[in-house]
Amino acid sequence: MTARIIDGKAFAAVLLESVAEHVSHLKQTQGITPGLAVVLVGEDPASQVYVRSKGQRTVEVGMHSYEYRLPADTLEAELLALIEQLNLDPSVNGILVQLPLPQHLDEALVINAIDPSKDVDGFHISNAGLLATGQRAMVPCTPLGCLMMLREYCGNLAGLHAVVIGRSNIVGKPMAQLLLNESCTVTVAHSRTRNLPDFVNGADIVVAAVGRPLFVKGEWLKTGATVIDVGINRIEQGDGTTRLVGDVDYDAAKDIAGAITPVPGGVGPMTIACLLANTVAACCRVHFLPEPAGLTA
Ligand SMILES: Nc1nc(=O)c2c([nH]1)NC[C@@H]1CN(c3ccc(C(=O)N[C@@H](CCC(=O)O)C(=O)O)cc3)C=[N+]21
C-alpha cells in the first residue's frame, strides 16, 4: 500500500485564496482592512525566517502586516507596554508574539497580557479554557490546520481512535481537545509513554508532535492509518548539508499508512494559512459582522 500524500501546501493555497476573498469583501463592503501584528524578541535565525514568511503571506492576502522586532534584552515591562498598545489599537485585529521568548521573559505572563479576542495563536488561558469546554475559541493554528486536513481525508471523525504524541500547550493538548470535540477516542501519549508502539498500532489517526526527528517508526502504524506529522526538525546529513525531517519516519510510513503529510509541505503551510484565517475571524467578531463559514473551526 502506498499512502495518499496530504498536500498541505496545496490545501493552504486554497484556504489562503478564501481568506483573500473575505479580506477583499471586508474592504469593499465595510472599508475595513484586517491587520496582524507580529512581535519578535531577539535574533533567533529560524524565528526570523518564520516571521518573514508570515509577513509576506499577510500582505499577499491583502491584510496589513505590522512587525515589531525587539532586542533580545528587552525588559518584560517594555514588551507588556507594546502588547497593551496593540491591544488598544483598533487597526490591529491579531497579535502574535513569536515563541520561544528569551529566558528572562515569563512566557505565560506575556501571552496572557494579549487581549483574548486578538489572540490569533489561541494561546491565552481564556481561549485554552473555551476550547477545553467546547465553546467558541481562537483555536491554535497548528492543531486547527491538522483538523482541517483530517476532516478532508477521513470525513466524519466520530468514533475514530486518535493517538496524539506530544503534550505541549501549543500543539498536543489543543489537538487532543479538538479531536475530543469531534467525538474521537483520544489517547495523549508522549516521550515518556511506555509501550508507545502498541498505542500507535491501535490508532486510526496518528498526530506526531514530539519534536524528535524520525521518532515514529513505520512498523508501529496500523495499515491504512492517517498520519499527521507536525515535526519540523533540521538534521545534519553525512555530507555536511542539512535537511528537514518530521517526527515520523516518512519513507517507511508511506508504505503502511493510508494517508500522510510530508515535511516540508504538510502542516507548516497550513499553520500560516490558519493564522490569517483566525485574523479575519477576529476582525469580523470585533465588528459584529457574520463570520466567514469554513475559515476556522
Ligand atoms: N507564537 C508563535 N506562533 C507560531 O505559530 C509559531 C511560533 N510562535 N514560533 C515558531 C513556530 C514555528 N512555526 C512554523 C510555521 C510554519 C512553518 C512552515 O511553513 N514550514 C515549511 C518549511 C519552512 C522551511 O523550509 O524551513 C513547511 O513545513 O513546509 C514552519 C514553522 C510557527 N510557529
Nearest CA, atom 22, ligand 1: 264
Residue 17's contacts (CB-CB under 8 Å, 6 or more residues apart) are: none
Residue with cell 508522549: 190
Rounded mean pLDDT, 145-161: 97
pLDDT confidence tier of residue 26, bands split at 50, 70 and 90:
very high
Residue nearest to atom 21 of ligand 1 (CA): 268
Query: pLDDT tens across 95-121, in order?
Result: 999 999 999 999 999 999 999 999 999
* Known catalytic membership, residue 54: yes
At 292 the pLDDT is 84
Annotated binding residues for NADP(+): 166-168, 232
Angle at which helix 141-154 crosses helix 267-286, to 10 degrees, equals 110
Confidence of residue 34 (pLDDT cuts 50, 70, 90): very high
Indicate which residue of 119, 121, 204, 247 is catalytic. 121
- For residue 12, give every residue at least 6 positions away whose Cβ sits within 8 Å of its Cβ, in sequence order, or none: 145, 269, 270, 272, 273
Give the residue with greater pLDDT, 48 vs 31: 31
The pTM score is 0.97
What does the angle CA 122 – CA 144 – CA 220 come to, to the nearest 5 degrees?
A: 125
Cell digits of residue 163: 493517538
Q: What is the model's pLDDT at position 294?
A: 81
Ligand 1 centroid–CA 1 distance in Å is 31
Ligand 1 pocket residue status of 256, Cβ below 6 Å: no
For the chain, percent of residues with pLDDT exceeding 90? 94
Q: What's the pLDDT score for residue 45?
A: 86
ipTM metric: 0.97
Q: Across the chain, what does the average pLDDT equal?
A: 97
Give the model's pLDDT for residue 11.
Answer: 97
- Name the DSSP letter for residue 205: E
* Mean of pLDDT values over 119-142: 97
Please indicate whether residue 121 is annotated as part of the active site. yes
Atom of ligand 1 nearest to the CA of 97: 1
Q: Each residue of 284-297: pLDDT tens digit?
A: 999 999 988 888 87
Q: Tens digits of per-residue pLDDT, 235-247?
A: 999 999 999 999 9
- Cβ-in-10-Å burial (0-12, 13-18, 19+) of 281 comes to buried
Spatial distance between the Cα atoms of 48 and 41, rounded to a whole number of angstroms: 10
Q: Of 82-91, 217-226, 285-294, which gets the smallest average pLDDT?
A: 285-294
Cβ of 180 below 6 Å from ligand 1: no
- At 46 the pLDDT is 85
Hey, how many other C-beta atoms are within 10 angstroms of the C-beta on 30? 12
Q: Is the pLDDT of residue 1 over 80?
A: no
Evaluate the omega torsion of the peptide bond into residue 264 and state whether it is cis, within 30 degrees of 0: yes
Q: What is residue 283's predicted lDDT score, i.e. its pLDDT?
A: 98
Which ligand 1 atom is at minimum distance from the Cα of 100? Answer: 9
Neighbour-count burial of 291, counting CB atoms closer than 10 A to its CB (0-12 exposed, 13-18 middle, 19+ buried): middle
Beta-bridge partners for 224: none
In whole angstroms, what is the distance from residue 163 CA to residue 196 CA? 10
Domains of the chain: 141-268 (3.40.50.720)
Q: 148 CB under 6 A from ligand 1?
A: no
The rounded distance, in Å, linking the Cα atoms of 108 and 95 is: 15
In the reported structure, the alpha carbon of residue 50 is separated from the centroid of ligand 1 by a whole-number distance in angstroms of: 5
